[in-house]
Structure 1
Amino acid sequence: MNDENDYRNELEDARKRATVRGRNGSEESLEVHWEICCGDVLLAEENMENQDREWENASLAREFLDVANFLEGYDDMLDKVYVAVQRMANVIIDHPRLKFEMLKLQLTVIRRIEALCDHDLDESEDVENELAYYQRNIAYADNGDFDKIAQKGTLKRDTIEWSLDYESVIDEVNKKIYSLLEGHPRGMGFCFAYWSTKAQVLKEDYGIEWRSPAIMNPGVMFD
C-alpha cells in the first residue's frame, strides 16, 4: 500500500511539474514527462496486482498514450518508451479500442527503432498480427457481427465485450462492483460473486446482457 501511495503521489507531482515545464525538447521537459509515463505504468500494474482500483487503468493508459506519443518523437527516448509501452499494453483489460491505440504506438516505436538501427526487431510481426486481430474484431463488433469475432485461447468470452457500449461503461461498472462487494472475501469463489454482480449491474444499470466465463464455458471448473 505504501508503494501505491508513493506511485500516486509521485505521479501527481510529475503532472504538476510537467505543466510548468511545458512540452519541448529540453532535458527537463523530457525527463518530467518520462516520469509521468513511469508513474502511469507502475500505478496501473499495482492496481492490477492488488485487484483494486483497476477502473483507473484506462485513464492512466490514455494519459500514457498522450505523453508517450510526445516522447516518441525524440530518438533518445525511444528505448525507454519501447519498454514502457509493452508493460502498459499488458494491463489494458476490457478496452479493445484503447488496446488497439496502444498497439499502434508500440508498432510506431518499433518501426522507429528499426529505422535507426537498420535492422528488424523480432516482435514487429507479432505486434502487426495483434493489431490486425484487434482491428478485425472491433470492426465486426461495430457492425453488429458478433458471431464473426475471433477468440483466442481455450476459454470463450462473451463477444459483447468487444462492443463500444460495453467498453464505454465497464470502468464505471467495475467501480460499482467493488463498492458492492467491499468486504467480501477475495479468496476461492470470489470470481462467482464478481461475475454475478457484474451481470446484474450491466443489465440493470446499462441494459447490457453479459454472459460470464462460467456460462460461456460449461463444464469448466473455476475457483
Structure 2
Amino acid sequence: MPGAETGVLPPSRREALLTTAAREFAGAGYQRASLNRIIRSCRMSKSSFYHYFDSKEALFDATVLDAAQRLLAALPVPAPADLAGPDFWTRIDELIAGAVRLVGPQDRMLWTLFYLPDAPTGPGSALARLRAGIDGWLAAALAAGRDAGAVRTDLPASLQAAMALAVLQAMDEWSLHQLDALSPDELATLVDAQLQALHRLVGH
C-alpha cells in the first residue's frame, strides 16, 4: 500500500522539503535515495518528518504530484473534447513542442522521476495514478482525432492508443537523456522529426 501524508506542513517548509526530495530521488534513484540526507538538508528531525509523512514512499508520491502540478501550471493541457475539429494536429503539435521546450531543471524533474526504473508504481501510487491519467487523456484525444477525421481508423482504438503511448514515451525518455548534448537548432529539428513520426503512425 502507498504511504500517506499524515500532517500539514507550512507551505514554505513543504516546498523546501519536496524540492530537496526531488533532487535526491532524481539524482540517486528511489532505492538509493537517502531519507536521512533529505531530512538533514531540511533541518528536520526524524520525529518531525514522520509527523507529516509516514514513509519514504509517501514523500516520493508527494514529490511526484507536486512536480506534476508545476508542469501543468507551465503547460496547460487541453481537454480532449477541445481537440475535436480541423485544428487537431495543430493543437497536438503545439502541446508536444511546448513540453519539449520545458527544459529547465525544475521542468525536467517530473520526467526524471517518471522514468526512474526503481520507483514505486503499485496500485494507488502517484506514478500509477499519473500514468493512468496520461493513458486516459491520450485515448480520449485520439478518439477526438478519429471523430474529426484527423486520425486513422483502420486499427482498433485501444491498440492505436497503446502504440502512440509507447512511441511518445520512447521519444520522451530518449530526449530527456540527450537534452544536454543538443543545441537549440538540433532540439528544434528533433522535435519536428518526432512530430512527423507521430503523424505517420496515427495520422489519417
Name which structure has the greater RCO, CA cutoff 8 Å, separation 6+: 2
Same fold (TM > 0.5): no
TM-score by length of 2: 0.37
